[in-house]
Structures are given as C-alpha cells and as structure tokens.
Amino acid sequence: MKIVIFNIILLAFVLSSCANQEKQFIIAPELGALSSDTYHGQQLSLKVIDMRASTHIAQILTDNEAAKLYSSQSPLDSVISEVMNKQLKVQGIELASQTESSLEIQIDNALITVQQELMKYDATSKITLRFIIKNSDKTLTKTFRSTTTSNGPFSSDIAVLERDFNQQLSNLLNQALNNAQIQRHIRKQK
C-alpha cells in the first residue's frame, strides 16, 4: 500500500513539474536582400547582449493557472549575432575582435504576452533593440522599437505567434541595417 501511495505522489510530482517546464519557440529572422559591398573592406567588431531580466520569448497568461512560458530554442542573442554576422559580411564588413570600430546590439525587450480567456485571446508583442556604434572618435546609439497586437477567438496558435514574432524581428533588423545614420557612422572609420 505504501508503495502505491509513493508511486501516486511521485507521478503527480513528475506531471506537475512537466506542466511548468518552458516550451521551445523557434526564432529564425530572415533579412531582406541588402546591397552587397556597402562597406567594402571596413573592419568592425560585433557583440550582441541580452539585457532582459527573463529570457523567455512568450508567456501565456490564463486566470487561475500558472503562466505557460516559451523560451527560444537557441539563445536570442546567438540567433541575432549569427544573422547579423552573415548580413554584415555580405555588405563588405570584415568582422574582427580587435578594431577601432564596434557594433553592439543590446536586446532590451523581446516578449509576447498572451492574455488567454475562455473564448478569446489578446496578444501583444514588444521588441526593443539598441544599436551602439563606436568608431575612433564618436558613439552613435539608435533604438529600434516595435509593438504589435493581435487577437482572435478561442486559443492562441503558437505557430502563428512564432511566425509573427520572426517577421517583427526581421523588420526591426532590416530597419537598423538600412538606417542611413548607422551606415554613415560605420563608414566614418579612421
């Protein structure tokens, strides 16, 4: 009898711990085609830092239930670093660790919050990225923000939230890469 009770308690513990584990969210931004060789041979170091207090990407809030959290399959800073590395190389940047010029991207916010009710949901997605470009004599800081909202009947679809978040992140990164002020500041290397 004691073994049966122990097994029931153990099963309940395992099931409850599984229910609160973070689920995976695939982050895969796709950047648009930018002109190649924009910076022809200029050197730049790139660093991406996740400044967020919590690293989950999505949270689904339902009354009287624990929040369901979705983390990124790969760390968000690594994903952004990889995408930006590729794009900067296409634009003619030679990435190096020791240069006079640097680009630091700080992730200040990247979160989808879904308020789930019985027959509907409301979702808000906020992303804030700060680009800090330093060259030998000046520093330029530009912040790019995006907030989107969506709602619908019944429950939210994680695949749709994932797709929309990736589009939102892609748009912000493209905005930054196409920003004339950032491009001028990178070109002013000495």
Average pLDDT over residues 62-71: 93
- 187: which residues sit within 8 A by CB, 6+ positions away? 39, 42
Residue 34: pLDDT over 80: no
N-terminal to C-terminal alpha carbon distance within the chain: 79
Which sign does the torsion angle of CA 57, 25, 133, 51 carry?
A: positive
Q: Output the pTM of the full model.
A: 0.84
Which sign does the torsion angle of CA 26, 152, 123, 69 carry?
A: negative
Residue 142: pLDDT over 70: yes
Query: Using one digit for the tens of pLDDT, what is the confidence trace for 51-60?
Result: 999 999 999 9
Residue 110: pLDDT over 80: yes
Domain presence at residue 167: yes
Q: Identify which of 140, 75, 133 has the alpha carbon closest to the alpha carbon of residue 104.
A: 133
Residue with the larger pLDDT of the pair 11 and 162: 162
Q: Give me the count of residues in the chain.
A: 190
Q: Identify which of 150, 172, 146, 175 has the alpha carbon closest to the alpha carbon of residue 160.
A: 150
Whichever domain contains 114, its CATH number is 3.40.50.10610
Q: Which two tokens stand for residue 44?
A: 């730049």
Average pLDDT over residues 106-130: 96
Q: Which residue range forms the structural domain that includes residue 70? A: 23-187
135 — pLDDT class (breaks 50, 70, 90): confident
Q: Which two tokens stand for residue 149?
A: 């909202």
31 — pLDDT class (breaks 50, 70, 90): confident
Query: Using one digit for the tens of pLDDT, what is the confidence trace for 144-177?
Result: 999 999 999 998 999 999 999 999 999 999 999 9
Mean pLDDT of the chain: 87
The number of domains in the chain is 1
Domain presence at residue 124: yes
Q: Which two tokens stand for residue 36?
A: 């190649």
Domain presence at residue 6: no
pLDDT for residue 14? 45
Domain presence at residue 9: no
Domain presence at residue 148: yes
Average pLDDT over residues 83-101: 89
pLDDT for residue 18? 44
